[in-house]
Amino acid sequence: MAGRVKAGAYKPPEPRVSRMNLAELTQRYDDQLRTGDFADIDASANGLQVGPDDPESVTVERVAFAVDAAEQTIEEAVEWGADALVVHHGLSWGGIERVTGRDYRRIAPLIENDVALYVSHLPLDSHPELGNAAGIADLLGLESREPFGRMGPEHIGQQGHGEFTREELGELLADELDTGGQGVRGFDFGPDEIEHVAIVTGSGADWLDEAVDVGADALVTGEGKQKVYHEAREAELNVFLAGHYATETFGVRSLESLAEDWGMVTTFIDAPTGL
């Protein structure tokens, strides 16, 4: 597509194999996603969160993918026979002091069944080809795409141009996203004819002012905060709240496609929250 983001562009395909060791799998993902560049700006402990001291000793053939590392998705990954589970929202957000209660119930099945956990939060949001915002931009067919959603030295969203009425954009999101039956909520405070769309998936309402600064007609995100109603109204900006989960399935599905290209057996564990 003309005008795609160039920075950190998708790398050439890695060699296809039927299996690889865990160290190679995690290194391939880390290289694609520039994991190390987000170490100082992301609360998530990205990369391999649960795994052995010597990942080269672990052979990976079956990889499960999910948005969230939760009891439900971990149990389904174990039942399916996964060697590794790859998620967007992991278990460690600045450290775990005690492995008890909920943390124990999530971590124990991974260790007991030798299932490694790989996590990519902001690196996956940011990626111009594989990321969540990139997936929304692809869905909308946006052109002349550029980075959006500054966080420190990085961007975690995208912006681009298309032609929609406000109603058309809302209906497209509602029809194509897995909203868990909750639909898409819109604040119709901007122009009816939309040409410039800004995207930050998940909890992206804090980037409303940046959307105004770049001249966007609409901000597409997952969930909002109380203040976003008045901020959107005062800024005369359309805002679409399409669900945190619904806007963040794209990234892990892209990582699943990579694993399939590499020869892995994969499955996607869908656990929509409706939020």
DSSP state of 96: -
CA nearest to 159, candidates 219, 222, 112, 205:
219
* CA dist., res. 218 & res. 248, Å (int): 18
Sheet of 218-221: strand order equals: 143-151, 154-165, 193-199, 218-221, 238-241, 185-188
Q: According to the annotation, is 248 in a ligand binding site?
A: yes
CA nearest to 134, candidates 200, 84, 86, 79:
200
Beta strands in the chain (DSSP E): 20-21, 47-50, 59-60, 62-68, 84-89, 116-119, 143-151, 154-165, 185-188, 193-199, 218-221, 238-241, 265-268
* CA dist., res. 207 & res. 237, Å (int): 12
* CA dist., res. 262 & res. 256, Å (int): 10
Q: According to the annotation, is 176 in a ligand binding site?
A: no
- SS in 3 state form for 114-135? CCEEEECCHHHHHCCCCCHHHH
Q: According to the annotation, is 230 in a ligand binding site?
A: no
Q: According to the annotation, is 125 in a ligand binding site?
A: yes
Q: According to the annotation, is 89 in a ligand binding site?
A: yes
Question: Three-state SS for 29?
Answer: helix
- Annotated binding residues, written as ranges, equal 88-89, 125, 244, 248
Going by the annotation, the residues of the binding site for a divalent metal cation are: 88-89, 125, 244, 248
